[in-house]
């Protein structure tokens, strides 16, 4: 008996030793590569189809798009967050219309969640807005780039983390996948979340926000191997350094910091959902392809998306998230809120 037990302990030790030596716990490559242009394309043609009626805040079409996202999360066995009872964070019409009455109906943020294995109370948020501007003069504005591209990217990033978890490499910190509503009417969904956070603001380590990553702008007519990085260094030098290091290691895009200049007249830093995290002291990085001729036009269609670029930029968001979720110590906020 005793002898057998000792042998068992020996074998167990040996096998765990072998495992530790053959699996690199820190390498996200395999999971990163599960984010593919093909899958993003299939989904974007659904999210940005006429059936979703341009996904205006609170509209029937937006709810349909939301239902599609939830069905995908269910299929991938990614649940809604701990402490909630559904994938929805409802936002009443009164809130959406308080600043400027546009007669918006009730709407919802949509959330999914993977719990951290070692520091479950520390949470990383990955966000993208799933609303767009709806139907105007009988024309459906499908918003394939804005922000169908970010919407399908967040979904695939979640699935990549779920694959990692199944393979025994789940994130050490928790991750909240947040599809916010009401962005086009004034960043309402992310503001609502920031005022009604599911997890305490102090425990929220960062927000990675993705808004328009499937196209190129006029500054980059010769290449789509770039992305604008906005906000990363505004609160945390760590977040900037991680973004650069992960890109150097895995995705090799040209990181363009032009719009991160606080004096840039476009003020993109204040114009998407990450801002509602940043203004509350949560480090945020915004990935963006810049504007183009189809921006907020009915011609922002899925056939104009460059799916290779969309996949690469989604992969960058994934590897940044991988580092933020798995590093031993959470990133440090070393700068004041601007
Ligand atoms: Zn947008």
Domain ranges in the chain?
44-326
Whether 141 shows a pLDDT value over 50: the answer reads yes
296 CA distance to ligand 1 middle (Å): 9
Q: Is the peptide bond before 147 cis (omega within 30 degrees of 0)?
A: yes
Contacts of 29 (CB under 8 A, 6+ apart): 250
Average confidence (pLDDT) over 58-85:
98
Q: In degrees rounded to 5, what are phi and psi of residue 175? A: -125, 130
How many whole angstroms from 227 Cα to the centroid of ligand 1?
15
Confidence category of residue 21, pLDDT binned at 50, 70, 90: very low
Q: pLDDT above 90 covers what percent of the chain?
A: 92
What distance in angstroms lies between residue 184's CA and the mean position of ligand 1's atoms? 7
Q: Which pLDDT value is given to residue 242?
A: 98
State the pLDDT at residue 25. 57
CATH architecture of residue range(s) 44-326: 3-Layer(aba) Sandwich (3.40)
163-166: long-range contacts, CB 8 A cutoff, minimum separation 24: 163/31, 163/34, 164/28, 164/31, 165/114
Q: What per-residue confidence (pLDDT) applies to 247?
A: 98
Beta bridge partners of 89: 109
pLDDT of residue 338: 74
Please give the distance, rounded to the nearest whole angstrom, from the Cα atom of residue 133 to the centre of ligand 1: 10
Confidence at residue 279, expressed as pLDDT on a 0 to 100 scale: 97
DSSP character for 183?
S
């Amino acid at each position: 008996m005793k002898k057998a037990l000792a042998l068992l302990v020996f074998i167990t030790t040996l096998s765990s030793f072998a495992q530790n030596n053959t699996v690199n716990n820190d390498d996200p490559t395999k999971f990163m590569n599960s984010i593919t242009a093909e899958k993003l394309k299939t989904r974007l043609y659904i999210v940005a189809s006429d059936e979703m009626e341009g996904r205006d805040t609170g509209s029937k079409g937006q709810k349909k798009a939301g239902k599609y996202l939830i069905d995908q999360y269910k299929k991938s066995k990614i649940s809604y967050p701990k402490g909630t009872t559904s994938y929805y964070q409802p936002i009443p019409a009164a809130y959406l219309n308080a600043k400027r009455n546009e007669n918006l109906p009730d709407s919802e943020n949509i959330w999914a969640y993977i719990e951290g294995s070692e520091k479950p109370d520390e949470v990383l948020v990955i966000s993208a807005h799933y609303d767009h501007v709806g139907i105007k003069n009988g024309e459906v504005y499908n918003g394939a780039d804005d922000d169908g591209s970010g919407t399908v990217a967040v979904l695939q990033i979640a699935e990549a983390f779920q694959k990692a978890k199944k393979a025994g490499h789940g994130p050490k910190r928790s991750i909240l996948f947040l599809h916010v509503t009401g962005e086009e009417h004034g960043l309402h969904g992310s503001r609502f979340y920031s005022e009604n956070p599911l997890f305490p603001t102090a425990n929220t380590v960062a927000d990675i926000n993705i808004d328009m990553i499937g196209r190129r702008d006029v500054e980059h007519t010769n290449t789509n191997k770039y992305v604008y990085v906005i906000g990363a260094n505004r609160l945390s030098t760590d977040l900037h350094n991680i973004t650069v290091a992960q890109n150097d290691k895995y995705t090799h895009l040209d990181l363009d910091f032009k719009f991160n200049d606080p004096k840039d007249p476009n003020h993109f830093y204040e114009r998407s959902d990450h801002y509602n995290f940043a203004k509350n002291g949560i480090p945020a990085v915004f990935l963006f392809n810049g504007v183009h001729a189809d921006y907020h036009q009915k011609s922002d269609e899925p056939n104009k998306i460059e799916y290779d670029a969309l996949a690469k930029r989604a992969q960058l968001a994934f590897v940044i998230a991988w580092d933020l979720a798995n590093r031993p110590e959470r990133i440090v906020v070393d700068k004041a809120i601007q």
